[in-house]
Each structure stands twice: as structure tokens, then as C-alpha cells.
Amino acid sequence: MGAAPEAVHADGFDVRVYALSPGNVDFLRGLGAWGEILPRATPVHAMRIFGDDGRATLEFSAYEAGVEALAWIVEDSALQRALWHGLTATAKRCDALEFHAQEARVTLDDGTSVGARLVVGADGAQSFVREKAGIAARQGDFEQAAVVANFRCEKPHGHTAFQWFQGGPVLALLPLPGDQVSMVWSLPAAEAARMSALAPTGLADEVSQASHRVLGALAPASAVRTFPLRRLSARRLVAARVALVGDAGHVVHPLAGQGLNLGLQDVRVLAQVLTTREPGRDAGDYRLLRRYERRRAEPILAMDAVISGLFALYGVRNRGIGRLRNAGLNLTDRVPVLKNILIRQAMS
């Protein structure tokens, strides 16, 4: 377990943010955590996605979908802090994990030994729990890194999220409170290194040009950080007395902003399986946990397939394929039934 994050500085916003789906916002509201997050959260009222020819577009509107917001942009530290405030336990590191017929036993770094019917591995891509449970995982490298930073924008963002496919790289500008936006730019590793080494004003100029000045001139509002992008898929989500959630079970490309949403959906389904189990049923029983695994298998596989497919499709440098993919983007924008399907998936 990690330590609770420090308070956010009053003069800026985190460079690491998430686009939370309305379904997950409702989940956090039910936990009593949303009230603390809300003052620094930004609703997304519209999304505009651009193909790599500069003309193909796909637009979504909360008004047309009949919802308050398509998503909410929240800071990593604000989310973590709100969740930590709901816990009574002090953060401790797990030094050992053993599994027995009737329980799992965790030894903490202070020597304390804790027994439990079920251990939930919510400890990230390098999951200690997954390793100790003997669950294998397929891992790969997208050969990209995400460059993240915040900027002040000359023109109002209008609570709109923007995304540009660039023939492999993907640039996103997400609305923050006031006149700021959060940038996530997925780039080949060498190009990401070049971008992150630029002077703040130089990077702002690059982003302004790459975004076709849709928000006017940009000015730096934070330091720059870079995160390598990897893919991970655990071969199983459960074992006897173990369930994996979030990055411990699956890591996807951030181009659709669905990594955290998938993880929170895992938690929601696991909680439902546990709370609706038969009276006296062992929470760590493998057959019970399989219910969770089966319910999550299709949504995770579908999202991974869509994201990986988009990544591969827009990474192909072929003029004919380029025309087809941009025509597809325009077609989707003109067919309401397709847009409604995409909206429903993204809002769960």
C-alpha cells in the first residue's frame, strides 16, 4: 500500500488527471468520496475527435445525449486523497503473502500478520499480489511515452475535450477549471524525450501548433512529466482467495482514457458479487470469484480490442487506409445510432 498523497498546491493542478465516466462518478458518490473531489473536478460537456487528415471529425455532446456531463476530469491526488480519507487503516507495505486452505495471510513491514478470507490485488501493474498468487501476465511495450503538462489557453475551452489522431501519436487536451487544460500526448519514445526536454514555452508552442490553435496560444502552467506506455493482461483475474482489479489485471493504452474507468468498474462488479453472495459463502471461494471474472471478461476484452485496434489502425502509414479510417470517423459522426452506442459504453 502506498502513502496518502500530499495536498494539491493552491496555485496549480496535477499534471496527471483522469476522465471519469458518469457511472464511476455515481460509484464514488455512493462511497461518500465525490463531495471532496467535486470542487476541483471539471465536467466535460462536449468531445471533439479529429482524424489525421485534419478534416475528419467525430463530436459528442452531453446535451444531445441528455446527460449532465460526458465525463468528469479529476486530478490523481484529489481522487486518492478522497479515497484515503475514507479508510481507517494506516498505509503499510506487504512483505509476505501466503495462501492456506481457510485463509490468506499477509505479513506487513512492521511484522504484523493479518489473516483474511480474500485478498484484493489493487496494487498496480507490478502487482505483488498477482506475483504471489502465481498469476501470469502478458506484457508488451507500445514503444511510446505519454508526455503530460498543463497549459493556460487563450480561448475558452468551453468544457470541451479535444483529441487528435496523428498517424501513431495521439494528442489530447482536457478541460480544467478556469482557463487551464491538461495535455496528454502519446508519442514515440524518442520524440517524447525531445518534447519533454524543450523549454516550457517551446513545448507550449509545439502543442499550440499540433492542436491547430483551437484554443489559441497556450502558455505553460506546470512542469512536464513523462510516463512510458506499456500493455498488460493477466491470464486470470482470480485465484483461490485472490481477486485482481485495475492495473494489476489489465493495462491499456491511454488514447481512450479508459484505464481507470475499467479499474473502477472492476471494483464495482467485485463488490456486487461479494455483497450478493449466499449467506455463509466464503468470500475467497474460487467458484464465487469466478462470477466476478466472467462478468468482467467481455468488457475488458472488448475495450482492449477497440483501443488496440485504433492504435494499430492510426499507426499505419498508408494513404488508402488513411482515407478509409478518416471516412469512417466522419461516417460515425453522421450515424446517430453508432454515436449512441459509443456514448453508452463510455458512460458506464
Which pLDDT belongs to residue 337?
43
CATH number at residue 69: 3.30.9.10
Query: Which of 264, 252, 250 has the alpha carbon at shortest distance from 79?
Result: 264
CA 86, CA 84: separation in Å to the nearest integer? Answer: 5
Residue 343: per-residue pLDDT: 61
Torsion of CA 256, 325, 230, 132, to 10 degrees: 70
Please tell me whether residues 64 and 149 are part of one structural domain.
Answer: yes
CA 77 to chain centre: 14
- CATH number, domain containing residue 132: 3.50.50.60
Domains held by the chain: number: 2
- Res 56: pLDDT: 65
Segments forming the whole domain that contains residue 282: 117-136+235-315
**124 and 40 assigned to the same domain:** no
Instruction: With CA atoms as reference, report the closest residue to 151 among 116, 190, 179.
Output: 179
Please say whether the beta carbons of 130 and 251 come within 8 A: no
Q: What is the pLDDT of residue 57?
A: 78
The answer on 146 and 65 residing in a single domain is yes
Residues 123 and 153 in one domain: no
Domain membership of residue 144 (yes or no) is yes
Query: Would you give per-residue pLDDT tens digits along the chain (348 residues)?
Result: 445 454 444 458 999 999 999 999 999 999 999 999 999 999 999 999 887 666 667 888 888 888 899 999 999 999 999 998 877 667 788 999 999 989 999 999 999 999 999 999 999 999 999 999 999 999 988 889 999 999 999 999 999 999 998 877 889 999 999 999 999 999 999 999 999 999 999 999 999 999 999 999 999 999 999 999 998 999 999 999 999 999 999 998 877 678 899 999 999 999 999 999 999 999 999 999 999 999 999 988 888 777 666 655 555 454 544 455 555 445 444 445 445 655 666 667
Q: Which residues pair with 301 in a beta bridge?
A: none
| Claim to verify: residue 248 and residue 295 sit in the same structural domain | yes
Say what the pLDDT of residue 338 is: 47
Q: Are 131 and 200 found together in one domain? A: no
Residues 269 and 307 reside in one and the same domain: yes
pLDDT at res. 238 = 98
- Domain identity same for 78 and 170: yes
Question: What is the DSSP secondary structure assignment for residue 40, as one 8-state letter?
Answer: G
Q: Quick one: 125 exposed, middle or buried, by C-beta within 10 A (0-12, 13-18, 19+)? A: middle
Q: Which residues pair with 58 in a beta bridge?
A: 49
Q: Report the first-to-last Cα separation within the chain, whole angstroms.
A: 28
- Cα–Cα distance for residue pair 233/140, rounded to 1 Å: 9
Query: Cα–Cα distance between 210 and 220 in angstroms, integer?
Result: 15
DSSP-based three-state secondary structure for 13: coil
Please state whether 140 falls in left (phi above 0), alpha (psi between -120 and 50) or beta. Answer: beta
Residue that is last in its domain, among 205, 229, 253: 229
Please tell me whether residues 204 and 285 are part of one structural domain: no
Indicate whether 66 and 155 sit together in one domain.
yes
Residues 156 and 291 in one domain: no
